[in-house]
Structure formats: C-alpha cells, structure tokens
Amino acid sequence: MTAPVRTARGSEELIRAEEPVLAHNYHPLPVVVARAEGAWVEDVEGRRYLDMLAGYSALNFGHRHPALVEAAHRQLDRLTLTSRAFHNDRLAGFAERLAALTGTDMVLPMNTGAEAVESGIKVARKWAYDVKGVPADRATIVVAADNFHGRTTTIVSFSTDETARSGFGPFTPGFRIVPYNDLAALEAAVDETTAAVLIEPIQGEAGVLIPDDGYLAGVRELTRRKGCLFVADEIQSGLGRTGHTLAVEHESVVPDVVLLGKALGGGIVPVSAVVGRRDVLGVLHPGEHGSTFGGNPLAAAVGTAVVELLETGEFQRRAAELGAVLREGLAALVGRGVVGFRARGLWAGVDVDPALGSGREISERLMREGILVKDTHGSTIRLAPPLTVTAEELTGALGTLEKVLTS
C-alpha cells in the first residue's frame, strides 16, 4: 500500500458523524479503516494495523486475496444477479465443488450465516416431519448453552446471552438448551421429537471453547443411535481456520448437515450455505424455502474461487503450522499477564488477568500498538488472524501482546 487514502474527514470526525445516524448496535474500536491488503489494514490517517480478527473468520484468505478479487471482477463484468427464478451458469459448478470439498451431496445456497442457521433449522424440522415421522409442530432441536448462531428472532430464542435475547421476545418455541461439552445432558434431552442436535464444533463467541476430545464423536454416535440429525455450525470454525477444512475433522466426524458462511464469501460478498446429504436436503421442494440473492452468480463465482483456494490444502496447512507458533507464543505468556488460553489452528481465546484490564481495554491498548483484536466476554480476547499471516507477523503480534500486558 502506498499513499494513504484521502478522505474529506479524519477518523475522529467520522466516528462522531456515525453517532446520530447509525443504530448503536455495535461498539467498535475507535479505528476507521480505509484500505486493506492481506493481513494489514490502514486507517484514514495512513496508520497500519495487523488484522488479528479477520472479520470473525470472514477474511480467512486475507483482505482482497488476488484470486478472489479477480474472480469477483470477472463476474461483475458478465452477470451479477438472476434470482433463482432462472438458472445461472455459475451455480452448478459452485455447488458441485463445495459439496465435493465438504464430502457431501447437496448445497442450499444462502447469504448470511444467520440465514444458513435458519435454513438448517427449517430443513431439520421438515426432515423430522417427512422422514422421521414426528407429529406436526412437535419437533424439537437440542442446542448448547453459550451458543452463538446469529441474530434473528428464532436464533436469539435459544441464546443464553441475556444481552442478545432480552427485549426481543416472544420467542420461537421448540428448542432445548443443554450445557456444552456434556454428552450425558445431551443424551437426556434428545427424545423421539428431536429433529436435530445443533452445535458449534468450537464455540467461537463464547471464547473459543474447545470441547473435550471425544465430544464431537460422541454427538455423532448419540444422534445416529437416537435417530436425529447432527447439524454442525461451522460458520466460524470452518473453511481452514482450525487446520482442517472443517473443525469436525479433528475427530473424523461427518455431521448430517454443515452450516457454512463467513469465509465462504472470501471477505467480498456474503455467501452462506447449508450442505448435507441428499436424503436430508432433499426434503425441500419448490416454494418451501428460498432467497432472492442466495446462489447469485457473483456469490457463486467468489464462492467457487474460495473453494479452489481450499482445494489446494495450503490454507489448512498454514493454519495448522502457524497454529503451533501461536500456541507456543501464548504458552510463553501464561503467568505474564495471560491466565489461560484455548487454541486450535489459527484461532485462540486468550484469558487476560482481569487485574490488567477488561478485554475491551486490552484491545484498545493493542490497537494503539498497531494490532486489531476483539474481546469476547470479560477479560477474554480472541485471536483469529487471516490464514495468510506470516510467522514473523504472528510472533510480532505476540510480542506486542506481551508488551501491552507487562508494561
């Protein structure tokens, strides 16, 4: 990146300008980004920051990956939207490649993560009525406490985060909440009305909580034995982040349905999908579900380019190799401002000594040192750099974290 992007207003002025006109549903760090490339972003004053959040994993391939930008440009010059009233020449290839990448049969293309979750819920319920034979309107879905699956009214209905829920009722019935990482509780909650167990293989928003080894395999065994679906929300954990294409691969588990989003759009357009076996996704018939933008040719072109990047295995390998660097670096900080951490691949939840500040305060201090991160709860910060980050950039960021925590 060369000369800074020129804007009529500076950072502080732009932040002040948002206040009266922008709904206050976020509390961003006080940085105004104007440009980005790879793992780096630049603010309107030309200051550079290493992006250690990567759009909550929407930017797994970094900002403006050349192959993705090229795919988008090429498609912009040809065809952007048809709606599903007509076919478009990009969708079949995208669905074929994505199904092959994730080892399954069928793809239901949507746009945002929350829509993929909503669509997964609808598919699971329809499957329960049409295939399993659950009496009409009686289907239940078992979910985990401290989940994050998005922000729609149905999804917040089964959130345990009061801030996300409170004030948005009445809520959608049909969900049972059990503790995460607790197979006995799951066993007790699943009955003949259960359409699906819906969980995150790693709970991202909860602080990158990694279940015990055997939990995901246990969920697979239990759901198969009890005759309900295993729906894995891989919207944040999937597409290379953990060192595998899907986080469930750590336990060699194949869910019935996988929900994808975030990185599927390459950081360019919102692209999400429900992927699963034909005997499950096949329950949908024309008119029963849809989306004006889902499967649009621009999304399909970018999504195909994303799948092509993942087919090389390079990003999964990088996440695994650099993940070791991240873990080692964090281990060295335990007792030096870090009280504990959980990490898998290039993804970590870091619990900072609360005496040193809230996660928000630590994030602000890191920002002033040129590192962008995001707190989750309390004094936990989350690290999820683009998978294109270099080992030097990563160790540099860990050095900055050490400086911020020990100075």
Ligand X SMILES: *Cc1c(COP(=O)(O)O)cnc(C)c1O
Q: Which residues are catalytic?
A: 148, 233, 262
Our finding on whether 200 is near ligand X (CB under 6 A) is: yes
Task: Give the C-alpha separation, 25 to 206, whole Å.
Answer: 19
* Structure-block tokens of residue 107: 């793809």
Q: How many CA atoms lie within 13 A of 318 on its CB side?
A: 21
Query: Is the Cβ of residue 271 or residue 405 nearer to ligand X in the bound state?
Result: 271
Give just the sign of the alpha carbon dihedral 176, 209, 63, 1.
positive
Query: CB of residue 337 vs ligand X: minimum separation in angstroms?
Result: 27
Beta strand segments in 140-184, E = 140-144, 175-178
Our finding on whether 231 is near ligand X (CB under 6 A) is: no
Task: Give the C-alpha separation, 259 to 118, whole Å.
Answer: 10
Query: CB of residue 403 vs ligand X: minimum separation in angstroms?
Result: 30
Strand 348-352 versus strand 380-383 pairing type: antiparallel
Our finding on whether 345 is near ligand X (CB under 6 A) is: no
Query: Is the Cβ of residue 372 or residue 405 nearer to ligand X in the bound state?
Result: 372
Our finding on whether 347 is near ligand X (CB under 6 A) is: no
Our finding on whether 211 is near ligand X (CB under 6 A) is: no
Task: Give the C-alpha separation, 29 to 47, whole Å.
Answer: 14
- Closest C-alpha among 252, 207, 225, 161 to residue 343: 207
Residue nearest to ligand X (CB): 113
Our finding on whether 293 is near ligand X (CB under 6 A) is: no
- Closest C-alpha among 325, 349, 328, 324 to residue 339: 349
Near ligand X by CB under 6 A: residue from 97, 149, 244, 342: 149
Number of helices (H) and strands (E) in the chain: give both, helices first: 14, 15
Residue 110 CA from chain centroid, whole number: 15
Helical spans, DSSP H, in 259-344: 278-281, 297-311, 314-333
Our finding on whether 233 is near ligand X (CB under 6 A) is: yes
Query: Is the Cβ of residue 104 or residue 272 nearer to ligand X in the bound state?
Result: 272
Near ligand X by CB under 6 A: residue from 38, 109, 120, 150: 150
Tell me the window of 143-151, 362-370, 374-382, 392-400 that interacts with ligand X (CB under 6 A). 143-151
For residue 36, CA distances in Å to 23, 43, 287 come to: 25, 9, 41
Contacts of 313 by beta carbon, 8 Å cutoff, 6+ apart = none
Near ligand X by CB under 6 A: residue from 50, 52, 101, 117: 117
Query: CB of residue 114 vs ligand X: minimum separation in angstroms?
Result: 3
Near ligand X by CB under 6 A: residue from 261, 276, 295, 357: 261
Q: How many CA atoms lie within 13 A of 87 on its CB side?
A: 6
Our finding on whether 118 is near ligand X (CB under 6 A) is: no
By CB under 6 A, how many residues form the interface with ligand X?
15
x/- mask, ligand X, residues 48-77, rule CB under 6 A, reads: --------x---------------------
x/- mask, ligand X, residues 1-40, rule CB under 6 A, reads: ----------------------------------------
x/- mask, ligand X, residues 158-187, rule CB under 6 A, reads: ------------------------------
Our finding on whether 148 is near ligand X (CB under 6 A) is: yes
Our finding on whether 114 is near ligand X (CB under 6 A) is: yes
Residue 74 region by backbone torsions, left for phi larger than 0, else alpha for psi between -120 and 50, else beta: alpha
- Closest C-alpha among 43, 44, 32, 36 to residue 63: 36
Query: Is the Cβ of residue 233 or residue 256 nearer to ligand X in the bound state?
Result: 233
Tell me the window of 86-94, 142-150, 156-164, 220-228 that interacts with ligand X (CB under 6 A). 142-150
- Closest C-alpha among 251, 374, 247 to residue 320: 247
Tell me the window of 63-71, 174-182, 231-239, 391-399 that interacts with ligand X (CB under 6 A). 231-239
* Structure-block tokens of residue 116: 């993929």
Interacting residue ranges for ligand X, rule: CB under 6 A: 56, 112-114, 117, 148-150, 200, 204, 233, 235-236, 261-262
